[in-house]
Structure 1
C-alpha cells in the first residue's frame, strides 16, 4: 500500500506534464523559428496544431515561460507542508497524514478542467499549488511508517520498493495520459481518470493500513514479536531543533537531495516536451517512450536495493560507505547519459536509450541517500524527511522555469544547455554528500540515551533539555 501511495501521488503529479502538450496552442513565434538542427516532423504535427487553433475547444495560448510557471506551481505548495506533515505524522500517526493529503489532491485533480474553464491559467496555478500542499506530507509520513515497520537490515530493498512507486506512477501517468488523449481526443479525461484512481486508493488505504504494528488488528503474533525485537519503539518527543539544524550529516543529505531532485524533476517535467518539440514524437508515442526510463529505473532500484542489503548483511561494506557508493552511482550515471542523449541528433532510438540508461542509474539513489535519514535519526525520520524533501523540492519550482527561459525556441542546442546544467548540479551536490554523510545513528536522535558530546556547551544543554521535555 505504501508503494501504491507513492505511485498514485506521482500519477496525480505528472499527468499534467503530458496533458499540457495538447492543452496549449503552438506559438506562432516558435512555429516560424528555424532550427538548423531540427528533427524532421514525419506527421507535420506543427502545421496540424496551427490549423486546429481555431477549431478545437479548450486550447490555450500560454507561452513557454507561463507553461514553466504552471508546471512548477505544484511545488509552491509542496514545499510548504513537508515539515508540518512530518511533525503531524510523528505525533498523531502517519496513516491519515498521508491519506487525507492524497485524497485532497485526487479530488482537485478531478475538478481541474472545471477550474481551468472558470479561471484559466491563474486558476490552474492555484489548483496545482493546493495539490502540492496535499501531497507534501506524503513522503515524511511514509518515512515515519517505515521507521515503525521496517528493520534496519531491510531498509535498502523496502525503501527501493516503496519509493520506487514513483517510477510506476510516472510510467502509468505518462502512458495512460498519452493513450487517453490519443483515443478520446481530449485532455480533461486524463484528470478525471487519475483523480478517480486516487479516491479508490484512499478507500483501500483507510481499511488496510495502520500507523504502528501494535495498532494493526490483523497482524500475527509472530510478526509483531519480530518487529518488536528488531525495531526500537519510538518515543514521541519534541524535535531537538538546535542540533537538528546544525547537523552537517543531515545537511549533506539535503544537498544530495537537491541534486537528485534537480535531475529528476527536469526529466519528469520536461522530457515529454523535449520528445514532442525536438524529437517530434506524436502524443501517444511521447507518453509511452517518456515512461520507458522510469520502468528501467524502477527495476534497477530493486536490483540496487537487494545488492545493497546483501553486502551490508555480509559485512562487505559499511552502511555509511554503501550510502555514499549508491548515491554516487545515482548522480553521475544519469548526468553523463542525459547530456549524451542531447548530442545524438535525430536518432530517436539512441536518444531514448541514453535517457533510459541514465535513469536506470538513478535507481541507485533509493538505497543511497533516500534511506540514509532512517540510519541517522529513526526517531525523527518523518521530520527529517520533511526537512530534506521540502528544501530539495524547490528544484521542482526552479527547473521548469529555467527550461522555459533557456529553451523558448525548442532547439536542440538550447536543450543541451539545460542538460549540462543538470550534470553540473548532480556532480557538485554528490561531492558534498560524499564528504560529510554518515551511516549510523547521530547522538541527538536520542539525547536521553546518548547524552551530549563534550563540545556541546552547558547552556545549550539546558536549552535542549527544555525543548525535549
Structure 2
C-alpha cells in the first residue's frame, strides 16, 4: 500500500474506529446548543404569560408592562451576547472550550432560577439585567463549538458530525417554545418556565464537567487508537501554550474577509426571514403563524431535516473526491443563499388567500438555508483550526451587528403593513444582499488552511499564493475527473 493510499484509508471514518469518544463529544455539543437555545427562546413565551391579564391563577403574579417594555426585555439578551463575542473567542482559545461551556451553562441555569425572585425585587429592569448576563455567558457557545470541532472531528466526518452538533439550535427552538407554553399553562405558572429550564441548564454544565474534554489529548478514557486516528487525520499537535492570535494577518486575509461577508449576508437574510416574515404573512396575507405552536415550529423542523440531508451529501461528495473542500463550501453556501433568495422573490408575489403556498414556501426557504451550515460555518475551521473560535467570534459579532439593522431597514421601507408591494421591496433587497455576499464568497473564499494558522508562520502570509494554489488544485481535480469519465 502506498503512503497516499495509507493516508486515505486513515481518513475513512467507519472502517476501523466506528463509534467513539468523539461522537460522545458531538452529542454533548448538540445537547449544549439545544439547552442554550431553549433558554434563549423561553422568554418570548414567558413574557406573554407574565403579562396575561386574563389569567385565572390567583397565586401567579401578573405585570402591567406595555409593548415597548416587553420589547426591551426581549432584546436585552442580545446586549450581552454581542458585547462578549470576541472576548469569548479569546477565552476559548486561551483557556479551552470545556471550562467556558461548564461556566456558561451553569451560570445560565442559575440566572434562570433567580429570575422569578428578581422580578419581584426590582421589576422589569432587573429582568433585563438577568437576560443581559445570560447573553454574556451564551456568547461563548459558537466560539467554543468551533474550537471543539477543530480538535475532535476529522475532515472526512466534519460536515455530518458538526452539523449534528449545530442542529441543536433549531431543535432547541422546536422544543423550547412548546415546553415553555406547557409549563406556563400549569397551576404553577410562568415561574416554572425558569425553574425547570434553569435546572436543565445546570445539569448540562455538570454533564460537560464530567464527560467533556478540550481535545483527545486531554480526555482520560479515549482509546489510543481513536486518539491516534483523530490526531493523525487532523494533523493536530497539542501545544503546551495557546499560540498568540495573529490579529493583523486575520484582518488582512482576503479569504477571511470573504468568510465574514458571507456570514453577514446569511445572518441578514435569516434575521429578516424569521423576524419579519411572520408579520408579513399576518398583515399582508392574513396568515398568523403564531396562532399555532406546530405551525410556527414547522420552518425549524424543515431546517433540521434539511441540514441532516445536506450534511451527508456534503461529506459524500468530498470523501469521494467529487468536490474539493473549497468547491463543497461554495456550492452548499450557494444552495443556502441563492435558492432562498429566489424563494423570497416568489414569496413576495404570492397573493392573499394562498395560505398553503405561502407557508410551504417559508418552510422550503428555511429548510434549504441550512446549506449555510456546510458552507461558511465550516469555513471558519478550514481556514485556521487553531483559531476557529476566534474567527467565528469576530464574524458572529459583525454579523449580529448588521442583523440589528435588518428590522430597522424593514421599518423604513414598510410604512403600511398591509401593502404587499412594500413587503415585496423588502424581499427583493434581501435577495440582492444574499446574492451579492455569496458571490463575493465564491470569488474570494477558499477552504485552504492559511499560513497564519501556524504560530511559526504568523508573519508569513501570502494571500495571492493561497488563492492561486487553491484554483490550481481545483482545476487539477476537475481535469482528473474528466479523464476518468473518458
TM-score by length of 1: 0.81
Conservation of the 8 A alpha-carbon contact between 1:72 and 1:401: no
Aligned to 1:197: 200
Q: State whether residues 265 and 395 of structure 1, in contact with CA within 8 Å, keep that contact through their aligned partners in structure 2.
A: no
Aligned residue in 2 for 1:99 = 102
Secondary structure, aligned partner of 2:446: coil
Distance, in Å, in 2 between the alignment partners of 1:88 and 1:138 is 12
Compared CA separation, residues 75 and 309, structure 1 to 2 (3 A): same
Query: 1:362 aligned to 2:369?
Result: yes
Q: Aligned Cα RMSD in Å? A: 3.2
Q: Which runs of structure 2 are paired with 1:157-236 in the superposition (5 Å)?
A: 157-182=160-185, 186-231=189-234, 232-235=236-239, 236=242
Match of 2:34 in 1: 7
Aligned to 1:31: none
Q: What secondary structure is seen at the aligned counterpart in 1 of 2:83? A: coil
CA contact (8 A) 2:81 2:137 kept: yes
Q: Structure 1: which 5+ residue stretches go unaligned? A: 26-48, 457-469
Q: How many residues align?
A: 428
Partner residue in 1 for 2:381? 374
Confirm or deny that 1:242 pairs with 2:248. Answer: yes
Shift of 1:211: 0.9
**Bigger CA drift: 106-115 or 176-185?**
176-185
- The residue correspondences of 1:339-358 to structure 2 (distance < 5 A) are 340-341=346-347, 343-358=350-365
CA separation of 1:17/1:276 partners in 2, compared to 1, >3 Å: closer, same or farther?
A: farther
Residue 386 of structure 1 aligns with which residue? 393
- The C-alpha deviation readout for 1:151-182, integer Å capped at 9, x for no partner, is 12221112211111111011111232334445
Structure 1 residue 115 corresponds to structure 2 residue 118:
yes
- Judged with a 3 Å threshold, the aligned counterparts in structure 2 of structure 1 residues 299 and 280 are, in CA distance, closer, same or farther, namely closer
Q: What displacement does 1:424 show?
A: 3.5
- 2:102–2:206: 8 Å Cα contact kept in structure 1? no
* TM-fit CA distance, 1:354: 1.6
Q: CA offsets, 1:194-214, max 9 Å, x none? A: 222211211112111111112
> Within 2, Cα distance between the matches of 1:247 and 1:59?
51
Q: Report the counterpart of residue 140 of structure 1 in structure 2.
A: 143
Instruction: After superposing the two structures, state which structure 1 stretch, 397-406 or 4-13, moved more.
Output: 397-406
Residue 144 of structure 1, CA deviation: 0.9
Give distance in 2, aligned partners of 1:112 and 1:403.
33
Task: Sort the Cα spacing of 1:99 and 1:52 in 2 relative to 1 into closer, same or farther, 3 A.
Answer: closer
Q: Distance in 1 between matches of 2:463 and 2:311?
A: 37
8 Å contact kept, 2:82–2:397 = yes
1:82/1:136 contact within 8 Å kept: yes
Q: Indicate the structure whose relative CO is greater, using CA pairs within 8 Å and at least 6 residues apart.
A: 1
Q: Is the 8 A contact 2:107 2:202 kept in 1?
A: no
SS at match of 1:374: helix
Deviates more, 1:187-196 or 1:307-316: 187-196
Q: Is 2:302 aligned against 1:299?
A: no
The partner residue of 2:77 within 74, 79, 82 is 74
Distance in 1 (alpha carbons) for counterparts of 2:353 and 2:437: 31
